[in-house]
Amino acid sequence: MLRVAGLFVLLACASCAPRLMKLPSGNGIPVPDLSVLAEATAACRAVSTITAEVGVTGSVGGRALRGRLLAGLAAPASARLEAVAPFGQPLFILAASGDNATLFLPRDGRVLERGRPEAVLEAIAGVPLDAAALRNALTGCSSGVDAGVARAFGDDWQVVGSRVADLYVHRESRATMWRLVAVVHRQPGRPSWRAEFSDFQNGPSRSLPRSVRLTTTDSNGFDLRLTMSQVEINAPLDANVFQVRVPPGTKPITLEELRQSGPLGPRPDGQ
């Protein structure tokens, strides 16, 4: 079995998952502009690069997951993820730029090249995000809703809807700033899923979240909590960061092999 599966710890812990954020529902009151959304996303839209250590807990496909990632992302669509092991080589190194991703499994001597980033990340972690969407998820941001319609729910909630997502903007009181706290995504042919943002920090990162939850409506999908530390914003990242040096003799691996060994593949006990 591929060692990428070592990132996943088979435990029954669905009952320990925290409750989802309670989001407003109903029709709301139409709002004439998107100024509140602009205020809530000003900080994340200013992020060109981000590096962080990311603790991952939760479940994918009914299996508990726990791991630690070193992440580096840059606009418009570049990403590097390293799954850190307790000792020795990383479990995997994923580098993506644009529509191409390379996944290197150092411990297995295997590599997948020229894969679609969202397909590769889904195979190893259950979440279908490309590099740009992953950067949005880690910074509490969203894109592609300029033509959306805003609705107000009381004084402290607004929801901006578009064809592909609903963005939930909230403030604790009139004296506090608006923040994007949740995004519900809709993708044709897939269950809807949401990203929730919390534990906002002040300082150089300009109130970006430190905790992110990604969860799907599919009971056999994903429910992941990401906790970020050692965050650095807008530091220069060389283009070489988003490439992987693959040693000679490394054998290729297919996307289907990754899917079979990852969290959505068959269970070792056949269940």
Pairing label, strands 179-185, 110-115:
unpaired
Q: Report the pLDDT value the prediction gives residue 217, as an integer from 0 to 100.
A: 81
Q: Report the pLDDT value the prediction gives residue 193, as an integer from 0 to 100.
A: 92
Q: Which domains does the chain have, with CATH numbers?
A: 25-261 (2.50.20.10)
Q: Report the pLDDT value the prediction gives residue 15, as an integer from 0 to 100.
A: 43
Series of mean pLDDT values for 10-residue runs along the chain (271 residues): 49 56 93 90 92 94 88 96 87 95 94 95 89 94 72 96 90 91 88 93 71 88 94 94 94 92 61 49
Structure tokens at 105: 């499994």
Q: Report the pLDDT value the prediction gives residue 89, as an integer from 0 to 100.
A: 87
Q: Report the pLDDT value the prediction gives residue 265, as an integer from 0 to 100.
A: 58
In 3D, which of 141, 125, 146 has the Cα closest to residue 50?
141
